[in-house]
């Protein structure tokens, strides 16, 4: 049986974390374009693993994850008040390079010199 409540809660946490990150004053969080790729919530809603990615690369994402780990108390308090939770989940921040990886794939696809298909007028009739 799927745990729909955990899925909904992870979406809510992802949305609120993005808003909290915009309000934070730590320069490591605002260094480059950061994105929350995914939130994995435990079934009992006590633990949440948050995956952070940056357009500037994995090193920037690691610095941002360290900054978010240092501010975990503040972030948990904000999540608890914004989502009206009795117990805010313990957060674990992990850096990932998924944005950089997908941008690289997109760049490779754009650089490929594919021949354009010629349209035959007999197909349009």
**CATH number of the domain that residue 76 is part of:** 3.30.300.20
User: Considering the entire predicted model, what is its pTM?
Assistant: 0.76
Tell me how many domains the chain contains. Answer: 1
Tens of pLDDT, residue by residue over 69-110, are 999 999 999 999 999 988 989 999 999 887 777 778 888 888
Residue range of the domain that includes 53: 4-110
Centroid of chain to Cα 47: 17
Per the domain annotation, does 87 fall within a domain?
A: yes
Domain presence at residue 91: yes
Read off the DSSP letter of residue 117.
P
Helices in the chain by DSSP H: which ranges?
4-23, 58-70, 72-83, 98-111
């Amino acid at each position: 049986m799927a745990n729909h409540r955990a899925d909904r809660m992870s979406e809510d946490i992802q949305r609120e974390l993005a808003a909290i990150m915009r309000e934070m004053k730590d320069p490591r969080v605002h260094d480059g374009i950061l994105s929350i790729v995914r939130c994995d919530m435990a079934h009992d809603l006590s633990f949440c693993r948050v995956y952070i990615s940056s357009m500037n690369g994995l090193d920037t994402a690691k610095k941002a994850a360290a900054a978010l780990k240092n501010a975990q108390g503040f972030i948990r308090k904000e999540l608890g008040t914004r989502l009206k939770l009795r117990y805010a989940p313990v957060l674990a921040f992990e850096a990932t390079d998924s944005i950089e990886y997908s941008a690289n794939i997109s760049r490779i696809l754009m650089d490929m010199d594919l021949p354009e298909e010629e349209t035959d007028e007999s197909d349009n009739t």
